[in-house]
Amino acid sequence: MRIRTMTTADLGFADTLCSIAGWNHTLDDWRRFLALEPTGCFTAENAGGAAGVATTTTYGNKVAWTGMLLVHPNARGQGIGTALLNHCLEWLRHRNVTCIKLDATPEGQSLYEKLGFRTEWPLARWERTVVPAGLHAESAASETESCECLQPARNPDAVRSMLDRIEEFDTKAFGVSRRKVLASMLAAAEFAAWLPPRADAEPQGYGLLRRGSRSYYIGPAVASPSTGRSVINQLVRAASGRPLYWDIPDAQTEVIALAESLGFRRQRPYLRMHLGENIAPGRPSLQLGIADPAIG
């Protein structure tokens, strides 16, 4: 078995592994991972060819993420997953990253603990498959007027100005700047909402609605729970009744109550974990929805 740098030729295989695992990522998400970290995404090969993949995403050298760890079912149980993960950690250490983070499934928790990862906070995937009768009209009518909204594909010029306005606010919440990730996600987003609409006012919140292979996805979404309500209502409305996923920190009880009132159900838990001193924790209380378990 050998591990090498991923290339664009591997993206079809990587996308197939996601489908097998039932994950929500798309080929465009894979293109993004590779574009963000061209030498930090990896493919494992055994005698039969490509067998597994994993990614890293750095935010300067303070914080980095590792994710998208997937091994083909035919090649599991032979140490490939562990080797890929160790390869990612080694690559990040060579870049002098202080704190490595990941969002673990419960099955992965003990493995990560053995490697020294510590729990930062729990979160969960929430899912809405069916729109409860009467709910859609209700959210349409309430608290939506204070947001500014954008369909990025129809208005690429507005994307940069939104990015300029939300970057500093987002950095407060996330802990480090993730401008390159936000720029890429925003440009490809189906819909974006933020507030207040006035360009000269302090940003108070924003959220994105993005396509997935199985379901639309709400996130990242950053705001205080009270001001975030109108952002979330806009995103849910924009989804027009299509299935939705939303990854919400467990501590956001007010947001979870909103999700439940909009018809979301808890699907599965994750655990945000970190290795190395958590030097840029940000303000989790402002994170109403993460961007992606693979990159934070």
Ligand X SMILES: CC(C)(COP(=O)(O)OP(=O)(O)OC[C@H]1O[C@@H](n2cnc3c(N)ncnc32)[C@H](O)[C@@H]1OP(=O)(O)O)[C@@H](O)C(=O)NCCC(=O)NCCS
CA triplet 93, 99, 105: central angle to 5 degrees?
100
Q: How far apart are CA 194 and CA 160, in angstroms?
A: 14
Nearer to ligand X, 83 or 236 (CB): 83
Q: How far is the CB of 272 from ligand X (least distance, A)?
A: 12
Instruction: Write down the H helix ranges in 126-276.
Output: 135-141, 156-174, 179-188, 225-238, 253-261
Which burial class, exposed, middle or buried, applies to 224 when counting CB atoms under 10 A from its CB (0-12, 13-18, 19+)?
Answer: middle
Q: Which residue ranges make up the site for ligand X (CB under 6 A)?
A: 21, 69-71, 76-82, 104-105, 107-108, 111
Q: How far is the CB of 36 from ligand X (least distance, A)?
A: 19
Nearer to ligand X, 219 or 263 (CB): 219
Q: How far is the CB of 275 from ligand X (least distance, A)?
A: 13
Nearer to ligand X, 34 or 51 (CB): 51
Q: Are 152 and 184 in contact (CB under 8 A)?
A: no
DSSP conformation class of 78: S
Nearer to ligand X, 195 or 271 (CB): 271
Nearer to ligand X, 170 or 247 (CB): 247
Q: How far is the CB of 23 from ligand X (least distance, A)?
A: 8
Nearer to ligand X, 86 or 144 (CB): 86
Nearer to ligand X, 14 or 209 (CB): 14
Nearer to ligand X, 108 or 276 (CB): 108
DSSP conformation class of 131: P
Amino acid, single-letter form, for residue 264: F
129-132 CB contacts, 8 Å cutoff, 24+ apart: 129/243, 129/265, 130/263, 131/241, 131/263, 132/263
Q: How far apart are CA 268 and CA 274, in angstroms?
A: 20
DSSP conformation class of 173: H
Nearest CA among 189, 198, 197, 265 for reference residue 230: 197
DSSP conformation class of 159: H
Q: How far is the CB of 257 from ligand X (least distance, A)?
A: 28
Q: How far is the CB of 287 from ligand X (least distance, A)?
A: 20
Instruction: Select the residue whose beta carbon is closest to ligand X and give its number.
Output: 81
Q: How far is the CB of 66 from ligand X (least distance, A)?
A: 10
Q: How far apart are CA 213 and CA 211, in angstroms?
A: 7
Q: Are 222 and 290 in contact (CB under 8 A)?
A: no
Q: How far is the CB of 65 from ligand X (least distance, A)?
A: 12
